[in-house]
Amino acid sequence: MAEIEFDYSNAEEFMPPQEFAAFLQKAEAAKAELLGRQGKGNDFLGWIDLPEDYNKEEFARIKKAAEKIRSHSQVLLVIGIGGSYLGARAAIEFLSNAFANALPAEKRNAPEIYFVGNNISGTYLSQLVEVLGDRDFSINVISKSGTTTEPAIAFRIFRAIAEKKYGKEKAAEHIFATTDKAKGALKSLAGREGYETFVVPDDIGGRFSVLTAVGLLPIAVAGIDIDALMQGARDEREELLSAEGEKNQALMYAAVRNLFLNRGKRVEVLANYEPQFHYVAEWWKQLYGESEGKEHKGLFPASIDLTTDLHSMGQYMQDGQRMMLETVVCIDQPLEEVTIEEDPEDLDGLNYLAGKTMDFVNKNAMKATILAHVEGGVPNLLIHVPGQDAHSLGALFYFFEFACGVSGYISGVNPFDQPGVESYKKNMFALLGKPGYEELRKEIEAKEAKG
């Protein structure tokens, strides 16, 4: 049986059966194209076999480095942006205590972990320097290109702090670089300074890299079982590579979302009922947004945290423009159960829930919301995840990656490049005066002068 279950019964009333059959056929053709490795972007398909075919020597080194960091550091700073950050954050926030950094060290049983280099805010950075104080820390700097501005600035600052605290030589024992195997500024710097390095494989793009060293090192430092994470992905891969037609849950998801795109939907809202899922949704948004948002195509991926956002976005979901479909991620088995107790006075009128668990209330809130949204004209897709554990998350990562590759091929784009991300980078370099961008700067200035 599939680990990740896809249920479209709450969308069927909006799906003409013949159209669905046609999209399922397209999904099967897209799967064949993906696995035939002859389609667009086929030099970036290393993620397909990754759960089986990964570098075992490096995997063992990741575990060793994680142990070293856990033993000598009270804080880990993870420096990276986009695909070099979101997967690790998704896993760590989903699988650790929701308040991990605030727990006493002996309960957390891992360093405090902070993410930096994912924005250009001096305020954020200096407040993190304050939180760090003079505690022992390590840095995992992650950048495939080794030249991305946001992480490069943060790394320059925290490297200087580490060198001041430990001295240049000892600082090298606290700095771990995950980057290209041969090229880029970070690779050269790491080589010169003697940092331990890990590799972002050539054939895996940032947003598909969570199960490489990019995600695995910080995830292992958090004390999460990376073997279970890989096993989950492995099990899901086996299922998705072999299951055919309606039995293949990822093909179904890819087919249904393309059907709705074709029927005029423009936004897919990923909804969750577990707050720790928030960053998994951020990871998902990058995966689908950067993979499919091309050639003026693609569903805009958005996300909501429920029931929190029912009190802010609920009105729009129910009754605003009918441009969206909703995909709910349901964590079948909650990590913790809290039972609501009887109160003899019942002043809050909640005794009708006495003896019930919060999960019972949460799941009924989910059912009620789905019913309301479907009634309001929002097709609802449901993705069942067995639990809030490493195996389930590994399976979910793989499920979404596989469905994304299939979905991109259905819509005819190259899901594995990101030409649009380069446009802002070039303009920013020109405006900041980076050598080599003088011509573009002149063009921008001329445009500005024209008004």
Give the active site residue among 56, 107, 311, 450.
311
Options 24-32, 143-151, 331-339, 340-348: segment touching ligand PA5 (CB under 6 A)? 143-151
Q: Does 414 interact with ligand PA5 (rule: CB under 6 A)?
A: no
Angle, to 10 degrees, between the axis of helix 249-262 and the axis of helix 17-36? 120
Q: Which of the 8 DSSP states describes residue 203? A: T
Q: What are the residues facing 324 on neighbouring strands?
A: 267
Comparing CB distances to ligand PA5, the nearer of 84 and 140 is 84
DSSP secondary structure, 2-60, as one string: -SSEEE-TTTGGGS-HHHHHHHHHHHHHHHHHHHHT-STTGGG-HHHHTTTS--HHHHH
Cβ 290 to ligand PA5 shortest distance, Å: 6
Torsion of Cα atoms, 314 then 318 then 323 then 325, to 10°: 80
Q: Does 174 interact with ligand PA5 (rule: CB under 6 A)?
A: no
Q: Does 148 interact with ligand PA5 (rule: CB under 6 A)?
A: yes
Options 44-52, 79-87, 94-102, 343-351: segment touching ligand PA5 (CB under 6 A)? 79-87
For the question of residue 173 being annotated catalytic, the response is: no
Q: What is the x/- site pattern for ligand PA5, positions 82-101, by CB under 6 A?
A: xxx-----------------
Taking Cα atoms as reference points, which of 2, 12, 10, 68 lies closest to residue 60?
Answer: 68
Q: Does 60 interact with ligand PA5 (rule: CB under 6 A)?
A: no
Taking Cα atoms as reference points, which of 144, 193, 170 lies closest to residue 73?
Answer: 170
Cβ 443 to ligand PA5 shortest distance, Å: 24
For the question of residue 163 being annotated catalytic, the response is: no
Q: What is the x/- site pattern for ligand PA5, positions 176-205, by CB under 6 A?
A: -----------------------------x
Comparing CB distances to ligand PA5, the nearer of 14 and 198 is 198
Q: Does 379 interact with ligand PA5 (rule: CB under 6 A)?
A: no
Q: Does 274 interact with ligand PA5 (rule: CB under 6 A)?
A: no
Cβ 72 to ligand PA5 shortest distance, Å: 26
**CA 30/CA 37 separation, integer angstroms:** 11
Comparing CB distances to ligand PA5, the nearer of 73 and 212 is 212
Phi, psi (deg, nearest 5) at residue 117: 85, 15
Q: 281 to 300, contacts with ligand PA5 by CB under 6 A?
A: 290
Comparing CB distances to ligand PA5, the nearer of 207 and 391 is 207
**CA 301/CA 377 separation, integer angstroms:** 18
**CA 89/CA 218 separation, integer angstroms:** 8
**CA 63/CA 226 separation, integer angstroms:** 9
Options 78-86, 229-237, 298-306, 380-388: segment touching ligand PA5 (CB under 6 A)? 78-86
Q: What are the residues facing 387 on neighbouring strands?
A: 333
Among 259, 418, 430, 437, the residue binding ligand PA5 under the rule CB under 6 A is 418
Number of H helices, E strands in the chain: 18, 10
Cβ 80 to ligand PA5 shortest distance, Å: 6
Taking Cα atoms as reference points, which of 330, 442, 422, 315 lies closest to residue 373?
Answer: 315
Binding footprint of ligand PA5 on the chain (CB under 6 A): 81-84, 143-145, 148, 151, 205-207, 290, 418, 421
